Amino acid sequence: MERRTIVAGSLPMLLTPLTALADWELNMPRGVTDLSAEIYGLHMLTLWICVGIGIIVFGAMAYSISHHRKDKGHKAATFHESTTAEIIWTIIPAIILVSLAIPAAQALIKIEDASNADLTIKVTGYQWKWEYEYPEEGIRFFSSLDSKSREASTLGSGIDPASIDHYLREVDNPVVIPVGRKVRFLFTANDVIHAWWVPDLAIKKDAIPGFVNDMWAKVNQPGVYRGQCAELCGKDHGFMPIKVIALEDADYQQWVAEQKQQAAAASAASDREWSRDELLTQGQKVFTASCAACHQATGLGIPGVFPALKGSKIATGDLNAHIGIVLHGKTGTTMQAFGKQLSDADIAAVITYERNAFGNNMGDIVQPAAVKAARQ
């Protein structure tokens, strides 16, 4: 069957320029953990059993079709029952199934045992980005689609996706794990259900608001492993990739130290006064990363779904209402509470930006201190 499709597939291949010829990926990856290899083994075992049964059944059919035909003068037999045959083709499949179920059950029990982990990472799904939190290290950050991919994937962008490195599979902040250690991932979500899927780690688990799931991986090889959200989560479901970097222990420790430094710098930034230009520059960055997916880079939104910020009552009205909706979101809509996601400085910056961009001309600025005060 595989061969047939590949042959049929060569037709369009001849027609297309050599875009991604190297990537005729046919099969499940073997992955980089012991369990992913075991799952791959189960997959191949089942596949070969199916191929075997297929050869017997389709072979018998093909023989019958070529020999037992009226135009070859074959006369129809009259048999129409055989208890023996029925028993045989009930028992044999049952035996095959049992022999499949046993290794599958064994693998399942191992997969579901996330106890004694060396490290825990909490993964939270948002529309449409991931948040990673390392509770033991005090690290916490968001990971969203890389801006180059976002730009190229805009309807009618005219940018060739093949010209972008890892189109739709690149993020701003990858999640980093150490190799050789049992990492336990906890999954939850902020708004709707998402699913965290990295094929090389053989992990796919739903991230469900209000509930926590877990799954674990012990990666054997340093490397970069990519995946994406697997559960339909709204408009940008196809645009929330996952990038996992597995590092040797020493490199991992260094990464942790860097992250801690950055966090300290960010909190210092929230304690000082910002100039108008600083706020606007930072605000545009935050807006592109966190808001443009819905309100659009133009600030015009999508009529009926996401409101325009250009000339909006709130963005050109009372400042406190503006801070309020960004901090607390609006329940029952896709407008999230960004207070949990962004620092005071970032919120101050993005609000300043919204009030002075897209033709909005309020002239006022918001300082991080004002956001901090509004949080109380």
Partner 1 sequence: MTVPADLTHEDYGGHHGPRKGLLRWVTTTNHKDIGTLYLWFSLIMLFVGGAMAMIIRAELFQPGLQLVNPDFFNQMTTMHALVMIFGAVMPAFVGLANWMIPLMIGAPDMALPRLNNWSFWILPFAGTLLLSSLFVEGGAPAGGWTMYPPLVLQTGAAFPMLIFSVHLLGISSIMGSINIIATIMNLRAPGMGYMKMPLFVWTWFITAFLLIATMPVLAGAVTMLLTDKYFGTSFFNAAGGGDPVMFQHIFWFFGHPEVYILILPAFGIASQIIPTFARKPLFGYKSMVYATASIAVLSFIVWSHHMFTVGLPVGAELFFMVSTMLIAIPTGVKVFNWVATMWRGSMTFETPMLFAIGFIVLFTIGGFSGLMLAIAPADFQYQDSYFVVAHFHYVLVPGAVFSIMAASYYWLPKWTGHMYDEKLGKLHFWLSAIFVNLVFFPQHFLGLAGMPRRIPDYAVQFADFNMISSIGAMGFGLSQLLFAYIVIKTVRGGAKASDEVWEGAQGLEWTLSSPPPYHSFSVQPVIR
Footprint on residues 187-206 left by Cu ion (CB under 5 A): 194
Should residue 307 be labelled a site residue for ligand HEC when binding is judged by CB under 6 A?
A: yes
- 332 SS3 class: coil
* Region binding ligand HEC by CB under 6 A among candidate stretches 34-42, 51-59, 219-227, 293-301: 293-301
End-to-end CA distance of the chain: 64
Compare residues 85 and 264 and give the one whose CB is closer to partner 1. 85
DSSP 224-260: EEEEEE-S--STTGGG-EEEEEEE-HHHHHHHHHHHH
Compare residues 52 and 138 and give the one whose CB is closer to partner 1. 52
Contacting ligand HEC within 75-134 (CB under 6 A): 127
DSSP 144: -
Query: Which residues, 6+ apart, have CB-to-CB distance to 366 below 8 Å?
Result: 279, 319, 323, 347, 348, 351, 352, 355
CA nearest 153: which of 229, 237, 231?
237
E strands, 156-236, where?
A: 175-178, 183-189, 194-198, 203-207, 213-217, 223-229
Question: Judged by CB under 8 A, which of 230, 291, 371, 374 binds partner 1?
Answer: 230
Note whether 40 and 31 are within 8 A (CB).
Answer: yes
Distance of CA 211 to the CA centre of its chain: 18
Should residue 259 be labelled a site residue for ligand HEC when binding is judged by CB under 6 A?
A: no
Question: Judged by CB under 6 A, which of 213, 220, 312, 360 binds ligand HEC?
Answer: 312
From the list ligand HEC, partner 1, Cu ion, none, partner contacted by residue 290 (C-beta under 5 to 8 A by kind): ligand HEC
DSSP 92-115: HHHHHHHHHHHHHHHHHHHHT---
- Binding track, positions 239-258, relative to Cu ion; x by CB under 5 A: -x------------------
Enclosing H/E stretch for 346: helix 344-356
Should residue 181 be labelled a site residue for partner 1 when binding is judged by CB under 8 A?
A: no
Contacting ligand HEC within 324-363 (CB under 6 A): 325-326, 330, 333-335, 338, 350, 354
Query: Which residues, 6+ apart, have CB-to-CB distance to 302 below 8 Å?
Result: 294, 296
**In whole angstroms, how close is the CB of 48 to ligand HEC at the nearest point?**
45
Compare residues 74 and 330 and give the one whose CB is closer to ligand HEC. 330
Should residue 7 be labelled a site residue for partner 1 when binding is judged by CB under 8 A?
A: no
From the list ligand HEC, Cu ion, partner 1, none, partner contacted by residue 50 (C-beta under 5 to 8 A by kind): partner 1
Should residue 169 be labelled a site residue for partner 1 when binding is judged by CB under 8 A?
A: yes
Compare residues 19 and 262 and give the one whose CB is closer to partner 1. 19
